[in-house]
Amino acid sequence: MKEKRKAPLARIPRLTRGQKLARNLICCVLLAALLFAGLLYSGVISRVPLPLEWRFRLAERSALLQPSEIVAGLSMEDAIYWDADGEFPTLDEWGDQDATAKWSFAHSQFRDARFLLGRSPGWLHIYESGFLNRLTAALPAGPGDVSAYLYLIHFNGDGPELAPLVVYSDLPAARVEAELAVRGEDGSTVLRGSRETEDGACLLIAGRTEEETPPEAVFEKSGYWLRVRLMDENGAVLGERSGNVEYGGGWTE
């Protein structure tokens, strides 16, 4: 008599209880990883209330960047405004009604902004939590370099009024000064800002002035020209950089 041939599936070995458990566990992990990757790619994960550092790390991974060393955490609550008289009042020192109105509007737009600065060899990664909730820039930053990020510009009927700037350097600076020229149809407007710092990282707000545009401000690659100086306690310049900057970015050269 001919032997009956077994069906192909009948020759597959049966899994033990432990093997089934391992198989199901692996499938669940793979499914969870695919679901998380889909949420991360779609941007849904950015709205999940995760700790800021976790979101920063996820943003680095999605941008295929190596994990960086977090060197600073900055908040708009600590920002200082440069007024037209060259004074630097903090948020609690406003007295002029017009200046208060200007800051109140800007603060309502920017008050939730939080920045994490991560440094890796040759690069500075900036993550903004608040308005954008994403990795906003990866700027070249070598030893001794000055890095700056033009976050936003608030315009009123007369032109640019306020501009928050993130500045970072590993130089032992005690003070940072910034001068931003914005090109317009009827000429350019100058905004200035300054503040003290302890570690070379700061968030400052440049305010509109009536000063003339510096003669070295040449608008070649953008409509924004920025100069940043870092100084020590005695006012000596430790580092300086100037050139065209991108709106929502750093220097273009």
Domain ranges of the chain: 14-48, 58-244
pLDDT in tens, 204-231: 878 788 888 888 888 887 889 999 999 9
Give me the phi and psi of 195, to 5 degrees please: -165, 160
Residue 86 tokens read as: 């060259």
**pLDDT in the model for residue 94:** 38
**pLDDT in the model for residue 27:** 87
Going by C-alpha positions, the residue among 78, 77, 99, 75 that lies closest to residue 87 is: 99
Going by C-alpha positions, the residue among 145, 115, 154 that lies closest to residue 132 is: 115
**pLDDT in the model for residue 166:** 92
The pTM for the full model equals 0.71
pLDDT in tens, 92-127: 443 444 554 555 555 555 667 788 999 998 899 999
Of 80-84, 138-142, 178-182, 218-222, minimum mean pLDDT range: 80-84
**pLDDT in the model for residue 85:** 47
Query: Cα torsion at 82, 140, 223, 235 (round to 10°)?
Result: 30
**pLDDT in the model for residue 179:** 92
**pLDDT in the model for residue 92:** 41
- Highest mean pLDDT pick, 40-44, 157-161, 174-178: 174-178
Going by C-alpha positions, the residue among 152, 203, 138 that lies closest to residue 182 is: 152
Q: Over the chain, what is the mean pLDDT? A: 78
- Secondary structure class of 173 (helix, strand, coil): coil
Query: Is the pLDDT assigned to residue 147 strictly greater than 80?
Result: yes
Q: Which residues contact 137 (CB under 8 A, 6 or more apart)?
A: 124, 125, 126, 149, 248, 249, 250
Going by C-alpha positions, the residue among 150, 160, 179, 130 that lies closest to residue 249 is: 150
